[in-house]
């Protein structure tokens, strides 16, 4: 049911954890499955470049693989470019997700967006 890439990413996720002094934090949950994803961002305030991203995901294999992939994709990008990453980009990087698991990748897109919103609010940039 899962691609090899999903299985590999789920088994060895990158960027798991918490950034204590995060500049932006985004939490989303899916009320249907009950899964929760929290993404922390460390951002260079002069350049708006994401220096680090970590996640805590209480959810299924697809949600954990999506979190790992999405955080890896945004590190080194500006917050504007990070917002351009859509769930379909995460799905593509994971070499596909089963149709009933697409919503898991949407959590990653939404959590990034909320974390960036949080950063901008704290910076008075929103």
Which of these, 28, 32, 18, lies nearest to 66 by C-alpha position?
28
Q: Which of 104, 112, 114, 115 is catalytic?
A: 104
Q: Which of residues 54-113 bind ligand FES (CB under 6 A)?
A: 59-60, 62-63, 101, 103-104, 107
Q: Which stretch binds ligand FES (CB under 6 A): 27-35, 39-47, 68-76, 83-91?
A: 27-35
CA distance 37 to 14: 15
* Closest separation in Å from C-beta 79 to ligand FES: 24
The overall longest dimension of the chain from CA atoms, in Å, is 44
Q: If binding is defined by CB under 6 A, does position 35 make contact with ligand FES?
A: yes
φ/ψ of residue 28, rounded to 5: -135, 150
Choose the catalytic residue: 7, 33, 75, 83.
33
Check if 60 is active-site: no
Q: How many residues bind ligand FES (CB under 6 A)?
A: 11
Q: Does 33 bind ligand FES (CB under 6 A)?
A: yes
Q: Which of 3, 27, 30, 78 binds ligand FES (CB under 6 A)?
A: 30
Dist CA 29 CA 17 (whole Å): 17
Please give the backbone phi and psi of residue 105, each rounded to the nearest 5 degrees, phi first: -75, -25
């Amino acid at each position: 049911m899962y691609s090899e890439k999903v299985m590999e990413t789920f088994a060895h996720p990158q960027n798991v954890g918490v950034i204590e002094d995060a500049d932006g934090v985004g939490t989303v949950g899916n009320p249907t499955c009950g899964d929760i994803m929290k993404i922390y961002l460390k951002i260079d305030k002069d350049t708006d470049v994401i220096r680090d991203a970590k996640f805590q995901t209480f959810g299924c294999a697809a949600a954990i693989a999506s979190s790992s992939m999405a955080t890896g994709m945004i590190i080194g990008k500006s917050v504007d470019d990070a917002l351009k990453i859509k769930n379909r980009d995460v799905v593509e990087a994971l070499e596909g997700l089963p149709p009933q698991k697409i919503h898991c990748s949407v959590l990653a897109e939404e959590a990034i967006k909320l974390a960036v919103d949080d950063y901008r609010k704290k910076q008075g940039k929103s």
